[in-house]
Structure 1
Amino acid sequence: MDYIDTLMRRNAEFAGEGFNPSLRMMPTSKSLIIGCVDPRVDPMDIFKLAPGEAAIFRNVGGRVNPSVVETLRILRTVTLAAGGNIGPDSNLIVLHHTDCGIKRCYCHEPRLLAEHMGVTAAELDTLEINDPYKAVALDVAALRANADVPGGYAVSGLVYDVATGKIEIGVPSSRLRPDEG
């Protein structure tokens, strides 16, 4: 049995026993989590999230890059079209982690990483690739500074330790831009 067969069997079990057709498009916690693609750092697992509780989007390093900003703009439109809003009870969580593979790309393919981050190779050094605590603070600051990001969110920066399984708050939660609701 190859892996696709395994996935098909698991999906049949899910469809028969775990599927919930009443899940809504909008997360029940009104929360979005930006995280890394590293399988050790799956927000569903590390936060024990229920299906539909949070929207999760992942990229290399869990970094705020042009694609994340574009996604946030699109999600705002989807939210408004579905009759929702982004208000003070909406959360935007930036999740970084220790021992991130982005450091290896930084060392071996800096131009590729620069393209992913939307910067020049010379600017990579300013992104604190090797320090998840500094990087999460930079990414929260980048969200705050970008007028294209909807301002109603409470934004926070968290760092997951892959050696202990524990989360630390790198940037405490506060409104992205206090002047917007």
Structure 2
Amino acid sequence: MDYIDTLMRRNVEFAGNGFNPGLRMMPTSRSLIIGCLDPRVDPVDIFKLAPGEVGIFRNVGGRVNPAVFETLRILRTVALAAGGDIGPDWNLVVLHHTDCGIKRCYCHEPQILAHHMGVTLAELDSLEINDPYKAVALDVAALRSSADVFGGYTISGLVYDVATGKVEIVVPPSRVTEAATPHHSP
């Protein structure tokens, strides 16, 4: 049996025993997490999240890159079209982790990583790729200063230690105000 067969069998079990047709499109906690693709750092597992509780973006390194900003704009458009909004009283959590594979890309294929991050090769060093604690602070600062992060998000930065399973708050939650962040029209 190949892996797709395993997935299909699991889906049949889910559809019969775990499916909840009442889940809403927007997360019940009004929260979004930006995290890494690394399977050791699944926010659903490490925070014991319930289905539909949080929206999760995952990319290499869990970094705030041009695709994250584009996704935030698209999500706001989707929410507005559905008669709601994203922003006021929402949480935006940046989750980095120790022993991240992004460091290997930085060493072996920096031009690919520069493209992923939307910077030049010369600017890549300033992104603190080798230090998740400094990198999460940079990413939170990028979100707080962006016109794509509108309407009062509370933004925080966390680092998960893959050796202990513990999460540390590196950048405490702080609300972005409309005055501090220019409004971006969808």
Question: Under TM normalisation by the shorter chain, which class is it?
Answer: over 0.9
CA distance in 1, matches of 2:37, 2:100: 10
Within 5 Å, which residues of 2 pair with 1:122-141? 122-141=122-141
> Structure 1 residues 113-122 or 142-151, which shifts more?
142-151
1:140–1:157 Cα contact (<8 Å) kept: yes
1:156 is displaced (CA, Å) by 0.4
The residue correspondences of 1:5-154 to structure 2 (distance < 5 A) are 5-154=5-154
Question: Which amino acid letter does the alignment assign opposite residue 157 of structure 2?
Answer: G
Within 2, Cα distance between the matches of 1:76 and 1:172? 24
Equivalent position amino acid for 2:142 in 1: A
Cα distance in 1 between the residues matched to 2:83 and 2:134:
37
Query: Do the aligned partners of 1:151 and 1:175 also contact (CA within 8 Å) in 2?
Result: no
Residues 1:157 and 2:157 aligned together:
yes
Aligned equivalents of 1:142, 1:163: Cα separation in 2: 28
| Structure 1 position 77, deviation (Å) | 1.1
Unmatched 5+ stretches in structure 2: none
Asked whether the equivalents of residues 133 and 159 of structure 1 are also in contact (C-alpha less than 8 Å), the reply is: yes
Identity score, percent: 82
SS where residue 162 of structure 1 aligns?
A: coil
Q: CA RMSD in A?
A: 1.3
TM-superposed deviation, 1:144? 1.1
Say which SS state the counterpart of residue 96 (structure 2) adopts: strand
2:32 is aligned with what amino acid? L
Give distance in 1, aligned partners of 2:117 and 2:87: 28
**Residue range with higher mean Cα deviation, 120-129 or 145-154:** 145-154
8 Å CA contact 2:34–2:94 kept in 1: the answer is: yes
Structure 1 residue 62: Cα displacement: 0.4
Deviation digits for residues 52-88 of structure 1, max 9, x if unmatched?
0000010000000000000001111111222222344
Count of residues in correspondence between the two structures: 181
Report the more deviating stretch, 72-81 or 84-93. 84-93
Q: Given the superposition, is the C-alpha separation of residues 58 and 44 from structure 1 closer, same or farther in structure 2, using an over 3 Å criterion? A: same
On the 8 A contact 1:73/1:150 being kept in 2, the answer is no
Relative to the length of structure 1, the TM-score reads 0.96
Q: Is 1:61–1:96's contact at 8 Å kept on the other side of the alignment?
A: yes
